[in-house]
Amino acid sequence: MRLTLVWCLCVVSIQMVLGFMFAMMLDTRARVVGLLRTLIVIPVFISPIAMGLTWQFMFEPVTGVINYFLELLGLPGGTWHTSTDTALMAVMIADIWQWTPFVTLILLAGMQGISPEVIEAARLDRVRGWKYITKIVIPLIWPVVMVVLLLRLVDSIRIFDLVFVITRGGPGTATLVASVYDYTIFQAGRLGVMAAYGFLILIVINLVVILFLRLLYRQEKEARQVQKA
């Protein structure tokens, strides 16, 4: 579970930060931005198996395209998914690449739901830059942020396909996240332990969902009280 916790903290944090940055960049009416919105969603619709095989090929030390381009730049290549030092980072990169567009689109939808009157009032009051983001954008899309954060956390806790295809939990235990570990228990024929560990994963997911729902309910209740006041 420790490795799964590290995975969730790193992957989800980076996806949320990058997703928010890209959403801010795409929050405009320019025609070219509409095309970009269509293109960035493509990774989301690729199956984790196909995504894993693609990245596995790219990470190959000898025939992979990543080392090829590094060598063109005069930089040393790496044993990305076959080294205990870089395997976890390599799989994280693949997951971040696939799911950051999803976070971007959800946050972008929340930003485009902000009332034009609010945006115009902020412009007239010269609320710009970091102050505009922290005082206007984030508070108004906070429920959307919480929902997409919950979705990504739950998906990260139960991550299996991508990790298994690229590294199968190795080398050693470098990428042995919870679901992959549960599968190795199944392969060993320890069905009772497998069921218990799978149930533990389910409990953790349910606790995360309950916590987020309580936070959302409390925030909505406080917002209603402020409106009544």
Model pLDDT for residues 140-152, shown as the tens digit of each residue = 999 999 999 999 9
- 32 pLDDT exceeds 80? no
Residue with tokens 């916590």: 211
Q: Is 7 in contact with 152 (CB distance < 8 Å)?
A: no
- 139 pLDDT exceeds 70? yes
Please state the rounded mean pLDDT for residues 183-204.
92
pLDDT at 174: 94
More confident residue, 87 or 35: 87
Residue 32: CATH number of its domain: 1.10.3720.10
pLDDT at 228: 66
Please state the rounded mean pLDDT for residues 104-131.
89
Number of domains the chain contains: 1
Of 143, 53, 159, which Cα lies nearest the Cα of 99? 159
pLDDT at 208: 92
Cα dihedral 94/96/97/102 (nearest 10): 140
pLDDT at 210: 94
**At residue 128, what are phi and psi to the nearest 5 degrees?**
-135, 175
pLDDT range class, residue 29, cuts 50, 70, 90: low
**Cα gap 166→81, rounded to integer Å:** 7
pTM, 2 dp:
0.91
- 124 pLDDT exceeds 90? no
E-strand ranges in 21-125 read none
Please state the rounded mean pLDDT for residues 13-31.
89
pLDDT range class, residue 30, cuts 50, 70, 90: low
Mean pLDDT, the chain, rounded, equals 90
pLDDT at 138: 93
List CB contacts of 58: < 8 A, sequence separation 6 or more: 64, 65, 66
- 206 pLDDT exceeds 90? yes
pLDDT at 227: 63
pLDDT range class, residue 195, cuts 50, 70, 90: very high
pLDDT at 176: 94
More confident residue, 34 or 82: 82
Range scoring the smallest mean pLDDT among 82-96, 118-132, 196-210: 118-132
Which residue range forms the structural domain that includes residue 7?
Answer: 1-227
Of 158, 115, 152, which Cα lies nearest the Cα of 137? 115
Q: Tokens representing 90?
A: 């390599």
- pLDDT tens track for 155-183: 999 999 999 999 999 998 999 999 999 99
